[in-house]
Amino acid sequence: MHPLDVVRASLDNWSDAELGALAVGMHMAADDCAHTRPELYKGDDLYNLARLCAFGQDWDDANTAALDYVASHEEEHKAQAYAIGISALVHMKAIDLAVKTADEMLRVLPYDAEVAYALRDLKNSLVLASNSAALPLAAEEHSKIVAALAQGMPIKAVHGDAVMPVGALFESAMQLAFLDHYAGDAPAATAAAGEVESALPSTAMLDAEDRQHVDAVTNRYQLLDAQLPAIRILRTLQSGAARAQIDSNFGPNFGSATVLVLFPDWCVECRRMMKTLTTFAVVNRGTPIHAYGLVFADDAVVLGQPAHEVNLKQLEATQTLVVPATTAQTLGATDYPLGVVLDNTGMVRFIGALPEDAFNGDGYIAKVIVNVVKTAREKLEAVRKGTD
């Protein structure tokens, strides 16, 4: 079911009929939410009202109902109510309140799958918004998520059916190491990564997917501050002949930075991103900052070469290079689009999932590059001082 789950996770892959039905359902939910009075509900009905308002994207009323449920001291849906409240606050851009609610959630509830998912989603939202609150939140969660990982089995919800697999738990736990690294605190990053890796027992209940997930995250972390592995280019969709491998595209000159975006050909939002990536590359050509999409044919989802070619045709005239499917394993990809940012020497300084608007204006990638260039200058200055 994994390929289907991955494809359906993005609304860009839904049919017009499905999107239409979703829009009707959301409109009905919003209308019902607007005509209700939370004070008339209690127990399961109050929790279901919070869910209804969230589905209708009435975030203010969703948060109100969620808070009322939490205040009622009901236990069965308490974690889910906290999660609804946090999500609603993020959508309302009340980030400080969302983080405060997450802090409270960590203090008052046992660390279970519902809490782990809520914290993971909030951390990801903060990271993609370039919000510095992601680091202290990850640090606060760290001891609890490491303890959960040490059990060596999927973490379950105290109430409800939610389960977080070991692989997903490991990735969420490792986020602190990545954030410490990006903040320039290498010792803290090494310590956090070591604690996570040591916590996973050799007797852990890992199925094939969990093992693949753990190995991919570990691989991504090990790529940080390492030279980009050679990536074979099958062909270019922009113009000219295919190049042998990506590290020879630039020779000794990687510019101020180089951005690579890896994705499978079925990823609709990734294909759309290549137009803004190409514009970004053209605008920043004089700096220079290089930007390339790396697309591969994923036979697990798309069947047959003709179907792959239809997807690739949509990428013509963009800065996209076709690479082998094994590139996903080389770069430790688990989510798409996966961004890799290199400094001027070809060293990997960032690797992680990107938002759809990453290349829009002064967006996510621009902020990552600023941090990469700043870190590179600081390291060069440290080397110079050391040789004086």
H, E, C per residue of 222-284: HHCCCECCCCECCEECCCCCCCCEHHHCCCCCCCCEEEEEEEECCCHHHHHHHHHHHHHHHHC
Asked if residues 47 and 69 have their Cβ atoms less than 8 Å apart, the reply is yes
Looking at residue 252, what is its pLDDT? 46
Structure tokens at 229: 């592995």
Overall size of the chain counted in residues: 388
Question: What is the rounded CA–CA span in Å between residue 96 and residue 82?
Answer: 15
E-assigned strand segments in the chain? 155-156, 163-164, 235-236, 257-264, 289-296, 320-322, 338-342, 348-353
Rg (CA), the chain: 22
Beta bridge mates, 342: 258, 348
Question: What is the rounded CA–CA span in Å between residue 279 and residue 183?
Answer: 29
Asked if residues 337 and 304 have their Cβ atoms less than 8 Å apart, the reply is no
Structure tokens at 329: 């394993």
Question: What is the rounded CA–CA span in Å between residue 178 and residue 221?
Answer: 7
Structure tokens at 257: 């930075």
Structure tokens at 38: 């939370």
Asked if residues 367 and 282 have their Cβ atoms less than 8 Å apart, the reply is no
Give the torsion through C-alpha atoms of 364, 122, 265, 290, to 10 deg.
20
320-322, strands of its sheet edge to edge: 235-236, 320-322, 289-296, 257-264, 338-342, 348-353
Ordered domains of the chain (ranges, CATH): 2-223 (1.25.40.10), 235-387 (3.40.30.10)
Asked if residues 86 and 101 have their Cβ atoms less than 8 Å apart, the reply is yes
Largest Cα separation within the chain, whole Å, is 74
Helices 166-182 & 113-128 angle (0-180, nearest 10): 30
Question: What is the rounded CA–CA span in Å between residue 25 and residue 79?
Answer: 25
- pLDDT tens-place values along the chain, 388 residues long: 666 776 777 787 788 899 999 999 999 999 999 998 888 899 999 999 999 999 999 999 999 999 999 999 899 999 999 999 999 999 999 999 999 999 999 999 999 999 999 999 999 999 998 899 999 999 999 999 999 999 999 999 999 899 999 999 999 999 999 999 999 899 999 999 999 999 999 888 788 889 999 999 999 999 999 999 989 999 999 865 555 556 555 544 678 899 999 999 999 899 999 999 999 999 998 888 999 999 999 988 877 888 899 999 999 999 999 999 999 999 999 889 999 999 988 899 999 999 989 998 888 999 999 888 777 666 666 656 665 5
- Neighbour-count burial of 249, counting CB atoms closer than 10 A to its CB (0-12 exposed, 13-18 middle, 19+ buried): middle
Question: What is the rounded CA–CA span in Å between residue 70 and residue 274?
Answer: 44
